[in-house]
Structure 1
Amino acid sequence: MTSLLYNVSRLSYRLVDEVRDDVALQSPSRLTRSDGDIRGEIREVVLHFLQEIDVGYPGSLPDYQELYADCCDRARLYGFPMAGTWNLAPYIDAGVVMAACAYQHTPYENRVFVALYTAAFLQLDVLGETELDGCANFVSCMLQAKAQKIPSLDALTSFLRDIATYCVPVVGELSLAAGINFIAAIAIEDLSKDMIGHPEAEGYAAYKRYLDGLGDCYAGTIFPPEIPLVDYLQALPEISKLCCAANDVLSFYKEELAGETDNVVGNRARAGGISHIEAYKKVTADCIELHKKIVMILSGSPAAVSAYKAWLPGYVQFHTSLDRYRLDELQIPVGAPSKSQRANQRV
């Protein structure tokens, strides 16, 4: 199956920004020193990141054709359009890559849910600005059982109403809330486009990033239903943050090549009066600390630790497998030694 996920066309800076158009692939480098020097520094940071989180550089994708076909069938049952402008099929492709890579350790129905959830909100990320009225009134229509503005939003309503069939209690509620927050963020982005930033509103950028990150869903669905919620509940905030933080680490190379500065690394560089590379190292160090904290919080439950450590390599693979990140240009060998691999080599 030929992947369509590179053909989606909208630039945004979110967890689900994975499926933009290939502008970044065509952009000339903005690196100011020797491209080789900067590329080498970024390569070393990425290698350090992977080693510290104990993940070897991923290889080929798992086979996901059956999951893709099943998700397309399920999407039709919910009423998602599978043709035309709001055709969900290419977004399902992206969602299935996420589910197949990062959630392989979870039940099949959970993978279907993650794939459809990703697809539906990714589509809104790309096309939502063409249906701002529908996004702004989504919750009102949903709560009053009124028809949404377009069939795709009606289908999303049906899917979200079915969320309890996929998720355990609380995780379902968190996933629903994350989805609604995401829709609100689309409306907020439009309403605030001419807003002048207030110097005292220091938490606003992080707040927006939380709203449109979907991290609460991606964190909660890591854990199979047989693991008690209390075993991982306290780690969910950190895992939600790590979803975005790891994306920042693995996105930096292609963003630096494309000349993007309105991102976490760029903002940190400006705030600290430091170079992008130095800011990138700090962002990476923060992500590594998040990982260590998560493992510590989960340490009382071997099953929860195992689920998290099964998810993390797949989440990394989701990024390394996509051409848009250009990570293959860093020439990191598949299986580049993780901490545990290096320890075994020394024995």
Structure 2
Amino acid sequence: MCAHSRVEANMQPDDALDLKAIVRSLLAAVAYTPSIGPEIIKGSMDELENAVMKEVRSWNVDDGQHGAVFASLAAKAASIVEFCYHNHTFEVKVSIALYSWFFFYIDDIASEQSLEDYQRRFLLGFPQEDPVLVHLNTTLGRMYNYWDPICANLIGCAALECLSGTLLENRPEISKMAVRPGAISWPKYLRTMSGVGPGYSCAIFPKQTHRDISAYIQILPDIGDYFCLANDVLSFYKEELAGETTNQVHLRADTTGKHPKRVLIEMVEEVRDLHIRITTTLEEQPEALAAWKTFEYGYMCVALLLGFSVSSFMIQKCVASVN
């Protein structure tokens, strides 16, 4: 959000702030401009989706809908990867897409009991009761084929944290609890656990093309924050229409005593600052910078297209036309 826009926003009563304009300002803050022609990547997206489904079908697990449920998860996973990791090799894309597929499964389908018991069984070497989660172990293990061991560790740790974060968000006593004003770190803590930011940040830099981890390691925390904050801003409009009040914006509003729209403005400014800081920090690392720009542009685009966000009133067509 530019300085002039911030001044105007600060002068308006909270209820008069234009929610659509605030969300749009995020795209301006990161210099995002939608392009046209989704057919440019449709073929490669279909190929990736088919590869994910080939793996899923090999598990011989029935989703109760003749494969339609699992296929819908594969379509969303393929979209994320094709846009955000457009220039990765196909094998690397398949690994990230399967990784993403599991998060949709965890969020939408997996039982609370299977999630609560996953890590205990994982650490003790016991078989998983959920026939799908059995294969998460293998998916995480494959990350070492394509990423530096430290990054592969972080990708795996992010998956385990996501399990705990999802369980926390779904616990009735957590979702219904009054957020205390002094618990200012709680919203970010919960969001970081469930957001998988460290995993998707590391995925930007496979070892085949980014052999020196020192070229990007210092900026991974900022990319993780960017990943979660940008999504929270872009999804807020839809969530507000649905009456959701347990998201990051409302949690931060509860702990700070600010109006949710004021919090949203602050989050846009944080994303802008992260955008500048990441780009500046990577200036002397051209390969890492190019990979980041591909991810950033694609992430903004896919967030709009997947309905996490404001696409209903803003963007009709966009595609990751990045090199």
Distance 1:332 1:141 in 2: 45
Give the secondary-structure state (helix, strand or coil) at the position aligned to 2:129: coil
2:34 to 57, 77, 83: 57
| In 1: Cα distance, 2:106 partner to 2:228 partner | 19
In the TM superposition, residue 260 of structure 1 has moved relative to its aligned partner by: 2.5
Q: Is the 8 A contact 1:80 1:88 kept in 2?
A: no
Match of 2:226 in 1: 242
Change (3 A) 1:207 1:161: same
Structure 1 unaligned regions, length at least 5: 1-31, 336-347
Residue among 270, 286, 292 paired with 1:286? 270
Does the 8 Å contact 1:219/1:239 carry over to 2? yes
Count, aligned residues: 296
For 2:127, which of 143, 147, 152 is the aligned residue? 147
- TM-superposed CA distance for 1:46, in Å, is 3.7
Paired position in structure 2 for 1:341? none
Letter in 2 for 1:304: A
RMSD (CA atoms): 2.7
Give the corresponding residue for 1:175: 155
Contact 1:50/1:56 (<8 A) preserved: yes
Partner of 2:51: 70
Look up the match of 1:263. Answer: 247
The answer (yes or no) to whether the contact 1:60–1:321 under 8 Å persists in 2 is: no
Q: Which residue of 2 aligns with 1:208?
A: 190
In structure 2, give the amino acid aligned to 1:110.
V
Aligned ranges 1:279-318 → 2 under 5 Å: 279-318=263-302
Shift of 1:302: 1.1
Q: Match for 1:136 among 94, 99, 116?
A: 116
1:151-203 superposed Cα distances (whole Å, 9 cap, x missing partner): 11112222223321233321111010000111122343455726665665432
Specify every segment of 5 or more residues in structure 2 that has no aligned partner in the other structure, as ranges.
1-13
Identical pairs, percent: 25
Is the Cα–Cα contact under 8 Å of residues 148 and 206 in structure 2 kept in the other structure?
A: no
Match for residue 104 of structure 1 among 72, 77, 86: 86
**Cα offset for 1:254?**
1.3
Shift of 1:145: 2.5
* Corresponding position of 1:322: 306
User: Match for residue 6 of structure 2?
Assistant: none
Q: Secondary structure at the match of 2:195?
A: coil
Q: How does 1:11-50 map to 2 (within 5 A)?
A: 41-50=18-27
Q: CA deviation at 1:58?
A: 4.4
- State the AA in 2 paired with 1:117: Y
How big is the shift at 1:253? 1.7
TM-score w.r.t. the length of structure 1 is 0.76
Instruction: Supply the AA of the counterpart residue of 1:121.
Output: F
Structure 2 counterpart of 1:19: none
State the distance in 1 between where 2:247 and 2:102 align.
Answer: 24
Contact 2:52/2:74, CA 8 A, preserved across alignment: yes
Secondary structure, aligned partner of 2:261: helix
Cα distance in 2 for partners of 1:265, 1:198 equals: 15
Which one is further off, 62-71 or 316-325?
316-325
Query: TM-score of the superposition, structure 2-length normalised?
Result: 0.81
Aligned in 2, Cα 1:206/1:80: closer, same or farther, shift over 3 Å?
farther
Deviation of the 1:208 alpha carbon? 1.6
Residues 1:124 and 2:106 aligned together: yes
